[in-house]
Amino acid sequence: MTQRTTHQLLLATLLGLCLSVSHAADKKEAAEPVVKKSDSGICHDKTSASFGNTKKFTGFASMDECIKSGGRPVAGQAAAEPVVKKSESGICHDKNSTSYERTKKFTEFKTLDECVKSGGALPKK
């Protein structure tokens, strides 16, 4: 083999390798998200009839993330009610708290322990 042919072969191999790597990266980026927020602001998870039809969207890892970003659930599919609410004043209310239903401005948590660890306090009895 001549030196020129060797250089051409090496160049072609490197080009092929680069194309393969970029093609693999495209497949990873194209992985479908768990929840799609459509341009109209509706959050579709895989149980939604419109999930597959939603082409222009922002992807999210969970329905909670989508709703917190300003999206809304599909009509008839209510958002999960928070288990623990930390009020603006920093009090953690679970469903047994007398103030749970009255607390409208809050940060939600899955457990009282998580709420307290975030700096919240239990209500006075």
- Measuring CA to CA, how many Å separate 30 from each of 23, 24, 67, 119? 11, 10, 22, 39
- Write the single-letter amino acid at 5: T
Higher pLDDT, 23 or 88: 88
pLDDT tens-place string over residues 67-81: 889 888 887 765 566
Residue 119 CA to residue 82 CA, distance in Å, equals 18
Q: For the sheet containing 106-109, what is the strand order?
A: 92-93, 84-87, 106-109
Q: Is 67 helix (H, G, I), strand (E, B) or coil?
A: helix
- Write the single-letter amino acid at 82: P
Tell me the average pLDDT of the chain: 80
Under 8 Å CB-to-CB from 115, ≥6 apart: which residues? 84, 86, 92, 109
The two tokens of residue 114 are 């998580």
How many CB atoms are closer than 10 A to CB 48?
Answer: 18
- pTM for the full model? 0.40
Q: Is 108 helix (H, G, I), strand (E, B) or coil?
A: strand
Q: What pLDDT is stored for residue 24 in this prediction?
A: 47
Q: What pLDDT is stored for residue 21 in this prediction?
A: 52
Higher pLDDT, 3 or 72: 72
The two tokens of residue 84 are 């623990």
